[in-house]
Amino acid sequence: MFKRDKDDATPASSDNNIHTSVHNTINIGAQAEAQAEAFLQQQGLVTRTKNYRCKLGEIDLVMLQKTAQGTCFVFVEVRLRTNKRFAPAVETVDYRKQQKIIRTATRFLQEQRLFDKVACRFDVIALDQTGTAPPIQWIQNAFGA
C-alpha cells in the first residue's frame, strides 16, 4: 500500500477498488431485495421485516400473506444472478443454506413469541439478469422445516 503525498503521482492502493466493489455488491443486493419485495407486495403480501439478522444468519424478507386459514409468515431468500458462468439463481439455495434459513426463522419466531403459533413457509425469489431464465421466479414452499 502506497501513501500518496499531494505532489506524488503514484497510483493509490487497490484498497479503494476493493471498497468500491464491496459497496457496489451491497447496492446491487439491496436493489434485488427491493425488487423482490415490490414484486411480492404486488402479489398481495405485506412486509413484516427486512434483513433480519441474528447470530444464526440472515433472512432477506419476512412477509405476511393472508390465506383462508389465517395469516402465514413467509420467509424469503432473494437470489440474484448477473453472470451466466455461475449456477442459475434458483439453484443456489442448497441444503446447508436452507438449514441456516430455517434455524434463523425459528429464532425470529421465538423472539416474537410466535413459535408454534403461526403458519410459515420458505420461499425463494430468483432474479436473473443473464437472459437465460425468467427475470423473476417465485418458488413458494421452496423447502420445508
Gyration radius of the chain's alpha carbons: 19
CA–CA separation, 142 and 134 (whole Å): 17
46-54 β-sheet, strand order: 46-54, 57-67, 70-81, 119-128, 136-143
The angle formed by the CA atoms of residues 98, 53 and 96, to the nearest 5 degrees, is 20
pLDDT tens string 24-40: 556 778 888 999 999 99
- Cα 58 to Cα 8: distance, rounded to the nearest angstrom: 44
Q: Which position has the grid cell 424469503?
A: 76
H or E segment and range at residue 127: strand 119-128
Full set of structural domains in the chain with CATH:
15-143 (3.40.1350.10)
**CA end-to-end span of the chain:** 48
pLDDT tens profile 87-124: 766 778 999 999 999 999 999 999 999 998 999 999 99
Q: Is 9 a residue whose pLDDT tops 50?
A: no
Q: Compute the distance between CA of residue 133 and CA of residue 40 in angstroms, rounded to an integer.
A: 19
